[in-house]
Amino acid sequence: MKDCIFCKIVRGEIPSYTVYEDDVVKAFLDISQGTPGHTLLIPKKHIANIFDYDEELASEVFARIPKVARAIKNSNPAIKGMNIVNNNGQIAYQSVFHSHFHLVPRYTSHDDFGMTFKDNSNKYTPEKLKEIQQSIIDNMGD
């Protein structure tokens, strides 16, 4: 895609701090550095979000995430864990509409990154959960 910032990075039109690249993906430091080592892994092919992947590309891209994650973790003995985040759609905080995975190293529970999940379990009966479950199953497709 001509105006996509990540496509421009793939084409070499915008410089990046690349940590891994092959024929399928490119991984480079996020310039925001949520924590030191914060890396983005993107497919070289322009894919807007998770909903646009086919099984083959998903397999190829996802298979590379552990390799990059291990390299990041091994790069600094202070790294104790990692969040791997993929936002899809503006409502889910996607700001660049070229699929990308954030690999965010975690050093302490008080570093510069946070995620919280609210416990809404009191709002869902077993019947409602079964209804949601069945709706997803019915839309699974091939």
Assign a CATH topology to domain 5-112.
Answer: HIT family, subunit A (3.30.428)
* pLDDT average, residue stretch 114-120: 86
Q: Can you tell me the distance from the alpha carbon of 73 to that of 33, in angstroms, rounded to the nearest whole number? A: 15
Residue 114's pLDDT is 83
pLDDT band at 131, cuts 50/70/90?
very high
* Per-residue pLDDT at 112: 79
Q: Is pLDDT above 70 for 142?
A: no
List residues with catalytic annotation.
100
pLDDT of residue 115: 83
Quote the pLDDT of residue 1.
78
Query: What b-and-e string marks burial along 85-98, b requiring 16 or more CB atoms within 10 Å of the CB?
Result: eebeeeeeebeebb
